[in-house]
Structure formats: structure tokens, C-alpha cells
Amino acid sequence: MTSPYAPTSPCDPGCLPVPEALRGGHRARRLARLTVRSLALVVVLLAGLAVAVVLPLLGPAARGRVQTRWTGAVLAACGVRVRRRGPAAPPGALVVANHVSWLDVMALYAVAPVRMLAKREVRRWPLLGVMAASAGTVFLDRDRLRTLPDAVAGLAAALRAGATIGVFVEGTTRCGRDLGPFRPAAFQAAHDAGAPVVPVAVRYRRRGEGPVDATAAFVGDDTLASSLLRVLAARDLVVDVDVRTALDTRAVPTGPARADARRALARASAAAIAAALPADVGGHPAAVRRAATTPPTSPVLPELEHAA
């Protein structure tokens, strides 16, 4: 049974790029690229086992440096270049981003060493789940709504203690061409803690130019293995991490207006991210299907009115 909290995405494998028809030398170069990167990634992941053992023994600053270097090594092994625009997020900030790929977590470390909020299932992923747990990831059980208030309180406490928390506020992945509704729970934690909210726009492109590239997207019934192979074989994949102006939660009303406050923060964050990611409503099948049944409106903000 699907949880009422579990968000859904309209994106499916039809949003992914059509595989190139390769012949001769092109096929050989692609195979060589895939082989070299696969070996490099195995080495980095094995090193991650040692990192997972050492992390709990380190202080916060040293732990952040180690995590940032290891995640950077994972991206480099995959052939993905990170390009950050804007300042690093300050300690004790809530970093909120759109969600495209399993690579997004590593990309956010270009903004700041973050403790991520993730669904419980991530804990069971091979190696990455171990690394996530050792890095202090907060796991959320989306099938048990009664645990949500405790999760929000835990996030608020971590923010007050100076931890930088990262959240993919759509709650699920999309292909990167538009945004989904922003879930407000994490914004409540930031509001309660008086922590700044830093919106971050994540976008994948080839050579850092042109339209959004969905090669790294992890959507529909795509598997981690097939997504990984697609990324390893790709050329010139760049992830742009665009840090927007931080939002001051202290300027938002407190008291009885808590629900209004978190919705206001969600709307402001969505607007900031949307400004860096112009929606391509005709660029993929999911958007075309939705546009055929929905009156033409802003592709982001009206949806947020219902993200209670």
C-alpha cells in the first residue's frame, strides 16, 4: 500500500534521453570510458568503507572535510564535474534543493558538509546506506506519519546545534525540467529553530551548456544499476549547483501562523529555485501530458498552495 505521505512524480523512463546509436570507434571509446570509470568508482567506494569507519571518530570540522573530499571523488570517478555558483551555506542552515538523481547528495557537498534527510529505504542501499548513516543522515519512515512531528523536532534541534541539514523538498526525483510541490515539514523545522533557509537549484547539462540533460535522472522504475551505467558512459556531464540568496526565517510570523509560515518559506524557496531553472513544459512527455489536462498557469507556485 502506498503511504499518503509518499510523494509521486510524473516523470518516467520516457523522460530519459534516447540511447545513441554507436558504431565502430565511438562504441569502442564508450566501452573504454565505461571500463575506466567503473574501475575508478570501485576504488573510491572501497575507500568509502574505511571512511565510514573513521567518520564517527572525527570532530565536526574534520568530518565535513573528509565527506566533501570523498563525495567529490565519487563524482569525479563517475565523470561528473561540479560547478557551484554562489556562496557556501553557513553552519546551522537548512539547505533545500530540487531532486533529480542519486548524485544530488554528492553535489550538495559542494555547497556545505550536510546531514541529509532521507527516506528509510536509503539505509538499506549497498555501501551508500552505510556511508549515509555514518555521515549522520536523518532517516524518515514515510509509512508512519505519526513519527513526522518527532522528525521535525529532531531536525530543529540539529539546526539549533549548528548542523547544516540538506533536504530534497520535492520528496522524490523528477527529470530536472520542472519542479514538483515542495513538502513543508523541513521548513517547519527551520522556522522553529530560527535557522536560515538556503535554496539550491540543481541542474545537469552536457559541457555545462544548453538545455537540461536527463542522463543522470533517476525516475520511474529505473534501477540504480541502469542509472549508474548511463552516467558512467556519458560524456561531458556537468552538474550546476546554484546557491540562491538565503531566506531569513526570523522575518516570518510565529505563533498561530506556523502553518502559514512554512508554506510561505516553501513558496519563496520554490520561486528562488525556479528562477534558476526555467521550466521546459514542452521538453518531456510528463510535462506534455500534464499540460494537456491542466489550464496554463505558473508551473511551480500554484502547486505549492496544497503542500500542507
Lowest mean pLDDT among 16-25, 70-79, 206-215, 273-282: 16-25
Cβ–Cβ < 8 Å for 249, 194? yes
Least confident segment among 69-78, 125-134, 170-179, 235-244: 125-134
Cα–Cα dist 183/170, whole Å: 6
The neighbour count for residue 48, using CB atoms within 10 Å, is 20
pLDDT category at 268 given cuts 50, 70, 90 is: very high
Using CA atoms, how far apart are residues 120 and 4, in angstroms rounded to an integer? Answer: 16
CA-nearest of 158, 160, 171 to 118 is: 171
Which pLDDT band holds residue 84 (cuts at 50, 70, 90)?
A: very high
Under a CB-based contact definition with an 8 Å cutoff, are residues 184 and 263 in contact?
A: yes
Residue 239's pLDDT is 94
Give the DSSP letter of residue 295. -
CA atoms within 13 A on the CB side of 12: 7
CA distances from 174 to 39, 58, 177 (A): 29, 35, 8
Q: Are 227 and 102 in contact (CB under 8 A)?
A: yes
Q: pTM for this structure?
A: 0.83
More confidently predicted of 139 and 181: 181
Residue pLDDT, tens place only, 11-54:
887 788 876 655 566 788 888 899 999 999 999 988 888 888 88
- What percent of the chain lies above the pLDDT cut of 70? 73
CA–CA distance, 119 with 6 (Å, rounded to integer): 10
Contacts of residue 218, defined as CB under 8 A and 6 or more positions apart, other chains included, come to 100, 101, 102, 173, 224, 227
The tens digit of pLDDT for each residue in 113-132 reads 888 877 666 666 666 666 66
H or E segment to which residue 73 belongs: helix 60-77
